[in-house]
Chain A
């Protein structure tokens, strides 16, 4: 059963495609790495999945989920770290789906928040303002919030960038735990070693799909070379795309 299905999806900006004619499915409970050079459209694809960006063409099916039920960790979060909010309250926003506008945060919910903070290794940080955290600690906080969102589909955009190896190991263990719980996880990544060792499925992206399948088959030097040669620039004089998309299924 597919958690996520792409039908001839083209995503982009100002009619210029950043992800061109993507077809394919992600099975429920899969752990998928999305790799490709900078500008390959990884973030664009993830933004399309969570519904921040509308496809220019084609459609994305979420296997019955509402896009608001996806837990999404953006690459460069627009978080205002100077805002006076504590780690506890910030992580607690992950309970939005249960609490909504007016729902109370009762004893059970407080327990959940404390456990989430503990499971990312931040005991004792509950009352610290988020502005006082280091980059790695902030990433742990964001993972704790994802944990609380309790989502069937989790989308992570380069979650281990500029994060030390200890933190990466801890957070990667969480990702694998999520998969163990039957959740579907999609992550844009750059670390090939990590992809090879921990992710069963890989999508190689370079403005369009280069290859998609079991990591061992997809992560070949040939595919990576094709991805590296991708042209990054938009062509301002490009004409409307005539391709119907069926021919480029990966």
Chain B
């Protein structure tokens, strides 16, 4: 009975196995990116970037129909353009990164909506905007896995400057020129993972598997490495449980995954070891030293 509910769907249906593989790949790469987004106070930047991808995906769709490669390439180009323009403007003027990003992502979003409305609303496009992890073909799954691999490799390369830039940017500037490139590479990784996520969860929820697990991890550890591990596990568990939920109840898969992550988040806010609400209300008697 329990086996039927929790494991049966994956042994029985190939599309469920593909979905599970995809969601695990997304968790492995997206969750560490989410942890850095959160620690660098850029949680909403991820959201903004998700919108910035829209015109690229729309152009890809116009040129070659519902072809995920074309839409991915378009999304990457649009996302990179916005990320790099915003980064360059922020670095070469006094403008804060969030302000310059807001300008560019709004412009990008307006462009995307314009392109979509000229073509006329299309049910297929909406389908992709909201994602469908249960309709992954082999090629799409390979793209997702490839992007996740690239993400982890690049993250390993820029890890040290990224950490130092997050904690003490001025120090990094005085000892190295790696800070700028590391920051731009990180923004690129954000875009790659958003594009990756929108194949499964759609542009609107792509950030979900990045930010929510990071938020969960933050309530359980004060150590960066542990935090990243917890985030990956939380993302994978949300993905798995979301798929099961979706299979058993007919809730759409993308929202199901994010809703499960939300439940884990609420549990963490309440009972987390680091700064959880219950811990704060009942901290126990103070220590001797």
Contact = CB atoms under 8 A, between A and B. Distances in A.
A85 interface: yes
Nearest to B167: A83
Contacts of B221: 84
B169 interface: yes
Contacts of A100: 176
Interface of A: 50-52, 67-68, 70, 72, 74, 77-80, 83-86, 90, 93, 96-97, 100-102, 129-131, 145, 149
Given A50-B174, A79-B167, 13 more contacts: A51-B174, A52-B173, A67-B174, A74-B170, A77-B168, A78-B168, A78-B169, A83-B166, A84-B222, A93-B171, A101-B160, A101-B161, A101-B178
A101 B166 contact: no
A77 B39 contact: no
A93 B157 contact: no
12 contacts: A52-B173, A52-B174, A68-B174, A70-B174, A78-B170, A80-B166, A83-B39, A84-B222, A84-B227, A85-B163, A85-B224, A149-B175
Nearest to B156: A102
Contacts of B160: 101-102
Contact of A80 (B157, B161, B168, B223): B168
Q: Which 4 A-B pairs have the closest CB atoms?
A: A83-B167, A96-B175, A84-B224, A79-B168
B84 to A, nearest CB: 21
Contacts of B167: 79-80, 83, 85, 90, 130
Give the interface centre of B157, B160, B161, B169 by most chain A CB atoms within 10 Å.
Answer: B160
B164 interface: yes
A40 to B, nearest CB: 21
Contacts of B170: 52, 74, 77-78
A97 B178 contact: no
User: For chain B, what secondary structure do more than half of its interface residues adopt (helix, strand, loop), or is it mixed?
Assistant: helix
A68 B39 contact: no
Contacts of B166: 80, 83
Nearest to B160: A101
A13 to B, nearest CB: 10
A93 B167 CA distance: 11
A207 B173 CA distance: 26
Nearest to B182: A101
A80 B169 CA distance: 9
A145 B175 CA distance: 12
Nearest to B274: A84
A143 B205 CA distance: 45
A80 B39 CA distance: 9
Contacts of A52: 170, 173-174
A84 B174 contact: no
Interface in B94-138: none
Contacts of A84: 39, 221-224, 227
Given A80-B166, A85-B163, A129 B222 contact: yes
B170 to A, nearest CB: 5
Contacts of B163: 85
A232 B172 CA distance: 31
Nearest to B170: A78
A57 to B, nearest CB: 21
A93 B178 CA distance: 14
Contacts of B161: 101
Give the interface centre of A72, A101, A102 by most chain B CB atoms within 10 Å.
Answer: A101
Nearest to B35: A84
A130 B171 CA distance: 15
Contacts of A145: 171
A79 B224 CA distance: 16
Contacts of A80: 39, 166-168
B100 to A, nearest CB: 19
